[in-house]
Structure 1
Amino acid sequence: MNHEHTRAVVTGGAQGVGFAIAEQLIDEGCRHIVLAGRDIAKGARAVEKLSRDDRVVHFEPIDLRNVDACTRLIETAIEKLGYLNGLVNAAALGARGTLLDTSVELWDAMFETNARAPFFLMQRFVQHRKDSGGGGSIVNILSQNVHCGQSYLTSYSASKGALATLTKNVANAHRFDRIRCNAILPGWMDTPGEDATQRMYHGATDGWLERAEQKQPMGQLAKPAQLAGLASYMLNEQSGVMTGAIVDYDQNVPGSYPE
């Protein structure tokens, strides 16, 4: 892909999937990008890793539960980059909670982070693109949990399901503006966030990744750098008229059963 003319915002861009997508865009010629996330130290390290040659990389700290902050992020990115034509919503809250033990506070935090924040980020991005004559691309990072999800991921699955419907709605509403909106549904991934989650919620110990990968059909968990190529394609004009697509990215096939 050639991303010489891409100017994008990537939420969750300091690590994991968001960082991998940002790195892919930089490697493919993107010279202007804004990363957004909660951790300022991680953001600084990400900027240092991605700043090369004539690449202009910014990091903006953000609390995605603050709607005004979401709007300001897009405004700030436009001011710093001149214009935007790409948005990647990769940040998410992945806390655990079943139907019976999910609190109101957890439910609200999940939907505010995983559904409401992308909504208002897309709202301001789409308005900017319409004001600029149309065009542009949005990629939302969802999850295989859209199809159902484990019992302890009830509110998470619901929030990602909401974003899946929102992806299609935005794609349909703004196709005549030539603004495309697509989504990727990763399965189990090897990310720093997943390592922390496994240790925090599931008592995982050193070596858990290797043990888990031995049991997978393809001998690995999905890797962010592999997924990043698909996101790059969706953001690029070479993906043509592709919009409203909800693409599974996993080695297990939804709806399949043991033989």
Structure 2
Amino acid sequence: MTGLLKDTIVLVSGGTHGLGAGIARQAAAEGAAGIAVTGRSVDAGEKVAAELTELGVPAVFLPADLANTGQATSTVTRTIERFGRLDAVVNAAGLTTRGSMTDTTPELFDQHIAVNLKAPFFIMSGAIKHLKDRGAGGNIVNIITMSEHAGQPYLAPYVASKAGLAGLTRNAAHAHRWDKIRINGVNIGWTATEGEDAIQRRFHGAGDDWLDKANTSVPMGKLGQIDEIAEFVVFLLSSRSGVVTGSVIDWDQNVIGGSD
């Protein structure tokens, strides 16, 4: 622990599982003054909040279905009510239900837009208004995806929503740089999470050895790791990342544009 987030109040959307929970734990390890995590699973959310509290960091679980804009925006106001202010936001929630250009229904498309783009938009909006009212700077990190560059054919609505979030990240960063609100994004590649395990089994017929096979199929011999990504996200949230804003950073072992 180096205290990167000392005296910082952090909101992590999608903080009950996987990468979001990992980011919340890393924020606690780096001395955050308070952490709010959101999600739909009450059991998982309360478990993460209790774990963070045991680490010595005041924490709260805010149940929310991010597909509901009102519930999404309320996570900002409820965090401020609980801790008195909000300094940093991580939008880590994401829907990855499969769909191609030819079989995606309007309903599935709308679900992806609601969770992956609309919710981050209005969470950011609420946080930015709060920071401007306080006259305080702040930091936002959006978890995006390498697939926003083009992606797989079976991820069409996911790609559409996440590409929108990449553009939004740059737009908001430009709009609020004079407010000293830094906004960045991380395009994560294939990452080993419990959510990915469920996806591989549900949509791709993967067996118990899928992760071993996946690790041998990538250049570095392992998929992206939650703890490594979480450390980088917390760095971006901290003053140690300096003046960087509007960056959407590829966190992956495959190089976009590279060809063998």
* 1:146-168 C-alpha deviation (Å, 9 max, x unpaired): 11000000110110000000000
Given that 1:31 and 1:54 are in contact with CA atoms closer than 8 Å, whether structure 2 keeps it comes out as no
Conservation of the 8 A alpha-carbon contact between 2:5 and 2:30? yes
Aligned length: 258
CA contact (8 A) 2:73 2:119 kept: no
The answer as to 2:14 corresponding to 1:15 is no
Q: Which residue is equivalent to 1:210?
A: 212
SS at match of 1:185: strand
Q: Is the alpha carbon distance of 1:105 and 1:178 closer, same or farther for their aligned partners in structure 2, counting shifts above 3 Å?
A: same
Q: CA–CA distance in 1 between the matches of 2:87 and 2:136?
A: 9
Q: Contact 1:96–1:153 (CA<8 Å) still a contact in 2?
A: yes
Aligned equivalent of 1:193, options 185, 192, 195 = 195
Residue 225 (structure 1) aligns with: 227
Q: Residue 73 of structure 1 corresponds to which residue in structure 2?
A: 75
Q: Deviations over 1:159-202 (max 9, x none)?
A: 00000000000000000000010000010000011000001100
Q: State the alpha-carbon separation in 1 of the partners of residues 107 and 216 from structure 2.
A: 37
Cα deviation for residue 49 of structure 1 reads 2.1
**1:241 correspondence with 2:247:** no
SS at match of 1:204: coil
Distance 1:241 1:211, change over 3 A: same
- Normalised by the length of structure 2, the TM-score is 0.97
Where 2:250 maps in the other structure, the secondary structure is strand
Provide runs of 4+ in structure 1 moved above 6 Å: none
Q: 1:132 aligns with which of 123, 134, 157?
A: 134
Q: Which moved more, 1:52-61 or 1:172-181?
A: 52-61
In structure 2, distance between residues paired with 1:65 and 1:213: 33
Letter in 2 for 1:178: K
1:99 aligned residue: 101
Aligned residues: CA RMSD: 0.9
Q: Tell me, which stretches of 5 or more residues in structure 1 are unaligned?
A: none
* Counterpart among 149, 152, 157 of residue 150 in structure 1: 152
CA deviations 1:39-90 (Å, max 9, x no partner) are 1111122122222253111111111111111221110000101100100000
Shifted more, 185-194 versus 50-59: the winner is 50-59
Amino acid at match of 2:256: P
Counterpart Cα distance in 2 of 1:145 and 1:203: 21
Partner of 2:84: 82
Task: State how 1:1-80 maps to structure 2 within 5 Å.
Answer: 1=2, 2-80=4-82
Give the drift of 1:28.
0.8
Q: Which runs of 5+ in 2 are unaligned?
A: none
- Which secondary structure does the structure 1 equivalent of 2:186 belong to? strand
Separation in structure 2 between the aligned mates of residue 52 and residue 31 of structure 1, nearest angstrom: 13
Q: Alignment identity in percent?
A: 42
Amino acid at match of 2:98: R
3-state secondary structure, aligned to 1:21: helix
